[in-house]
Chains A and B, each alone.
Chain A
Amino acid sequence: MNAPVPRPVADAESFYANYDHLDTPLGPDGTPFAYYEAFRDAALAADRPVGWSERHGGFWVVTSFADCERIDRDAENFSNDGIIFPKYAVTEPLMLAEQDEPEHMRARRLVNLSFMPRNVTALGDAIHTAVHELMDGFIESGRADVGRILADPVPSILTAVMLGFPPEDGPMFDSWTTALTHEFITDRASAIPKIEQMYAYFERNIARRQKDPGDDILSQVINSVVDGERLSQKELLGFSTVLLIGGIENSAKLIGTALWRLGWDVELRRRLVRSPEKMNTAVDEFLRYYTPAPIGRTVKREVTIGGCTMKPGQQVMIVLPIANRDPRAFPHPDVFILDRARNTHLALGTGLHVCLGQHLIRMEARVVLNEFLARIPEYSIDMEAPRYWTKGQVQGMSRVPIRFPPGKARLSTRGAGVDAWLRHAARP
């Protein structure tokens, strides 16, 4: 249900009191960004960077760039325990994401190098192949839902490759991630068996790698010795889940939203078709302009921010989609500037908990969008088919139906992962 977007002059108090990050009102374009802009304008006009929402039992809401950046970097006063709010339906704590120091850094060091630029670049070929195989599956038809058949599959296939799972299991990862992050809230009975299936799958795969390790990240984590000890079974399950959620959710939503924007913003699309090298800065501008998620913290020590005193145990949400449109940090914040200079957005976090996959998501989005535009430079949004904005803590355009002049398939063979996806995307 879409609540009406309040007028920009409405008082900041009511924006804060009614803020629900899981159910942001959608505007005429099908996204919540008109609402975010109105919220920001009201907060600026009232000089109120922080407020209290009455939803979900009550929590602090922070909208200014400077305060969001400060909280993101402040591990003394804020705990990461509240990063997901309300918590996802995981039975084991999310490694890294929900951990504080020193446990967080101990876990981070185990996987950090695998996500550094050189190791991420090595995955470029796998992404390239997946994109072209997926495109071969629909390019001759002249229409496709590129949310379902490009934005969703690529991150799942890539996560499978990195964790050493068969790529044809990708559609299962997608359904588990959806069960954990969205379905658990909307349809708990249907989500629970999927979550149980996910943990069983990880238990089997962890056991297999303990006996017979491969060169994948999961094998590396399982067999690492930290402070003379190996990670426990609970920690390994927490690691698997965080790599799954972290690798799939944000990337899919970012790519889906970018494909939607490029479907109607002909000028932007043609500039990127002419100058693919501009995709580097374009991806960061997509991250800033359509920031997929706010993030949470729990107050550890009493602290006053924006004139509000936060007490230990209280939940805080830093609303990055609004902070990244703060005119004090970004000139012309509501304009999409392809080559924006010093784009210091917070979409991937900052400080100790900065996104582990930040190099990966940038490379992934760049390759997917450039390869897609090279083969389908002209396309439009199919207004007769449903578009869908997925709500929740991580948001984005997840159904992006398009029409385009049909092209020719390039490859004579297809990977098993791609066939599984083509079947998965055809589901009702």
Chain B
Amino acid sequence: MGITIVFIDPTGKEHTVEAVAGESLMQAATAAQIPGIEASCGGNCICATCHCHIDERWFAKLRAADTLEQDTLACTNEPQPTSRLSCQVPLTDALNGMIVRVAASQH
């Protein structure tokens, strides 16, 4: 079953993307070439260039960030309570319709 994710890029433009359960939120974003998601380390939680803010309604449904991700997020430029590194967010059917705001800058 497909999952729909709505990305809002740093310019405010919405992009509705069809994703697949099991892939990461970052993979869904890069496959759709969402502006602002660089993901230069390819999903290894080392570059902090796939930083997103997850809409509160869905944030609680995500598996919590592990210590490594939390430490890395704390070192981004604009961490917020609903910040995640999208490479560390596996997609599930429960996340259908999730709204994700791409961080204004990854550097």
Contacts and interface: CB of A to CB of B under 8 A. Distances in A.
Contacts of A341: 35
Interface stretch (B20-28, B44-52, B58-66, B93-101): B44-52
B74 A118 contact: yes
Contact of B33 (A117, A342, A349): A342
Nearest to B47: A354
Given A117-B107, A342-B35, A363-B107, A352 B75 contact: no
A65 B46 CA distance: 23
Residue among A108, A344, A359 having the largest count of chain B Cβ atoms under 10 Å: A359
A278 to B, nearest CB: 14
Given A112-B46, A117-B107, A348 B40 contact: yes
B33 A350 contact: no
A269 B68 CA distance: 41
A117 B75 contact: yes
Contact of A350 (B40, B48, B71, B77): B40
Interface string B30-57: 0001010010111010111100000000
B92 interface: no
A144 B81 CA distance: 49
Interface residues of B, number: 21
Interface size band for A? 20 to 34
Nearest to B43: A351
A352 B44 contact: yes
B72 interface: yes
Contacts of B107: 117, 280, 358-359, 362-363
A119 interface: yes
A121 interface: yes
B72 A113 contact: yes
B45 to A, nearest CB: 9
A116 interface: yes
B53 to A, nearest CB: 15
A116 B41 contact: no
B4 interface: no
A116 B103 CA distance: 15
A358 B40 contact: yes
Nearest to A361: B107
Interface of B: 33, 35, 38, 40-42, 44, 46-49, 68, 71-72, 74-77, 105-107
A-B pairs, 5 with minimum CB distance: A116-B75, A351-B42, A118-B75, A117-B77, A354-B40
